[in-house]
Chains A and B, each alone.
Chain A
Amino acid sequence: MRREIPLVIVFLFGLFMIVQFFIPHRSFAFLYQEFNNWTIIIGIFTMVIGVGSLITVHYSKIRFKKPGWGYSIVTIVSLCGMSLIGLIGGTENELFLNLYRYGLSPVTSTMFSLLAYFIASAAYRAFRARTVVATLLLISAVVVMLGRVPIGQIITAWLPEWLQLQNIADFLLQTPNVAAKRAIYIGVGLGVAAVSLKIILGIERTWLGGDGGK
């Protein structure tokens, strides 16, 4: 029953959600909205579990004095501090907002800005025209890189319009790029439909857990 009941749940509710797409009746719409809301509520608890897992990992590091356990204390203290400030003071609390604006925000932005350095390094070290397809990739990358910024327009302004970099970049984006992405998305649509059907019909059961759903 530990395996059967979840499979029955997934079948019945999955089937309902497919069927309601084709039936615009009020009662179906009501149930559809209710089930969607239930999913959102479950989602809230799921995200809390994520935070719980984080605490578990860092607590284990502190308890067993694993390398870097001092930093784990920083994590747990900042987590508890920020939660309490937000839960008690509310999300419009000045201290909560300032920790977000001057703590979380700059660090997250800076972490991602490091990618600029890494992509430059990758472009220098790894971007090689070894084969025909690699050369095509390289040429289209260079055309789009220069064509989409003002300098592309400036350096090719003297050429006929159809040879100007920004127009070539436009053509690449609106023609071969569309074809490529269209092929990918057609495949993605079929893939999502296939996986969804497999989940609803109980063919795909890996979500039941590693013990085979026992």
Chain B
Amino acid sequence: MAGNVEMGFWDKLMAIDRRWIYLTIGIVVFIPILLDMTLPVYVTAEVKAVYDRIDALPQGTVVMIPCEYDPATMAELRPMAHALFRHCFAKDLKIVSCALQIEGVTLVKDDLALIAAEYGKTYGVDYVYFGYKPFPAIVILNMGENFRKPFPRDYYGTELDSLPMMKGVVNYSSCALLVNINATSGADYWINYANGRYKAPLALGVTAVSATDYYTFLASGQIFGLMGGLKGAAEYEKLINHNAAATKAMNVQSIAHSVIVVFILIGNIAYFASRKRKKAI
């Protein structure tokens, strides 16, 4: 009778304690980090578009890189932000940034200051950090009129008008382009409001979870470039010839993804074998 059927090998495999799967994934991710290997990263057109656009900008141009990532997503987006900051500072571009996600305020400030120090850049002259205000949608709209409306002062409490870099920098039209690094669907606000209303040239750097959603905006021309997850960051690192965290992580990703594909295959084989066995009985 069905209730007394002994569990076959495939049934046992399907019913395995999930902690064994956790252990396997832990080992599969940890070990490759310790190995010194370099797998080639191929660059996609959508990431190259961001690189080419920034690379073509003359010295001294102002670019806006609003960052909306926090500790939960920093593993993916921080390498992307670092690569972008490095590229801009290496080209002597001026960066205007803000953090519209509250838990990322200190993180973005630290990241900007870290990379600026690497290139000997001065705060207020080469880069400005506005800080945070709640309700990103409304802040994005108000920045389109004048940065000083939602941000009369920068993160450190200095009047924007007293910062040398902010002379003549009024709103999005004062910036050559915007590259929004966003961990959430808040990227929609930048598309709808910054690009939709104010026609700001916009590129996005998003987590891999959200990346597939924004290909349609790339196809329609509403964004000129798209960087998705750690892969996007690794591609940008390759383009600026500065291999860092993201490039190294691609090796680990390769192995982890392969193992997960094997898990899926085993799970499906076990499922169909078990189903066949039960039908035979």
- In the complex, A touching B (Cβ < 8 A): yes
Interface residues of A (CB under 8 A from B): 21, 29, 32-33, 36-37, 39-40, 43-44, 46-47, 91-92, 97, 100-101, 104-106, 108-109, 111-113, 116-117, 119-121, 123-125, 127-129, 138, 141-142, 145-146, 148-151, 153-154, 166, 170, 173-174, 177-178, 181-182, 185
- Rounded to whole Å, the gap between the CB of B43 and the closest CB of chain A is 11
- Rounded to whole Å, the gap between the CB of A80 and the closest CB of chain B is 19
- Contact A173 B212, beta carbon cutoff 8 Å: yes
A residues near B24, Cβ cutoff 8 Å: 120
Task: Please give me the residue from chain B that is nearest to A186 by CB atom.
Answer: B216
8 A–B contacts, CB within 8 A, in A order: A46-B134, A91-B105, A92-B156, A125-B18, A138-B264, A148-B231, A150-B42, A178-B215
Task: Please give me the residue from chain B that is nearest to A166 by CB atom.
Answer: B42
Q: Is B72 an interface residue (CB 8 A)?
A: yes
Complex Cα–Cα for A43 and B29 (A): 41
- Contact B72 A125, beta carbon cutoff 8 Å: no
- Rounded to whole Å, the gap between the CB of A195 and the closest CB of chain B is 15
For the complex with contacts A150-B250, A170-B44, A181-B215, 18 further pairs of A-B residues with Cβ separation under 8 Å are A29-B145, A36-B138, A36-B150, A37-B150, A40-B135, A40-B138, A91-B105, A105-B74, A112-B72, A124-B266, A124-B267, A125-B267, A138-B268, A150-B39, A150-B254, A151-B254, A153-B42, A181-B216
- Contact A121 B254, beta carbon cutoff 8 Å: no
- Contact B254 A120, beta carbon cutoff 8 Å: no
Among the stretches B2-10, B56-64, B83-91, B255-263, the one at the interface with A is: B255-263
Q: Which bracket fits the contact residues of B?
A: 35 or more
Complex Cα–Cα for A129 and B42 (A): 30
B residues near A150, Cβ cutoff 8 Å: 39-42, 250-251, 254
Q: Mark B137-157, 1 if CB is under 8 A from A, else 0.
A: 011011001100110000010
- Residue in contact with B71 in the complex, picked from A105, A123, A170, CB distance below 8 Å: A105
- Contact B257 A108, beta carbon cutoff 8 Å: no
Q: Is B169 an interface residue (CB 8 A)?
A: no
Complex Cα–Cα for A40 and B22 (A): 43
A residues near B70, Cβ cutoff 8 Å: 108
Complex Cα–Cα for A123 and B22 (A): 12
Q: Is B51 an interface residue (CB 8 A)?
A: no
- Rounded to whole Å, the gap between the CB of B197 and the closest CB of chain A is 8
Complex Cα–Cα for A195 and B168 (A): 39
A residues near B145, Cβ cutoff 8 Å: 29, 32-33
Determine which residue in A33, A40, A120, A182 has the highest number of CB atoms from chain B within 10 A of its CB, and name it. Answer: A120
Q: Contacts A124-B264, A145-B260 known; A153 to B149 CB distance under 8 Å?
A: no
A residues near B106, Cβ cutoff 8 Å: 91, 97, 100-101
Q: Is B121 an interface residue (CB 8 A)?
A: no
Within 8 A of A (CB), among B96-154: 102-103, 105-107, 110, 133-135, 138-139, 141-142, 145-146, 149-150
B residues near A100, Cβ cutoff 8 Å: 106
Q: Is B273 an interface residue (CB 8 A)?
A: no
A residues near B39, Cβ cutoff 8 Å: 150-151, 154
Q: Is B253 an interface residue (CB 8 A)?
A: yes
- Contact A105 B267, beta carbon cutoff 8 Å: no
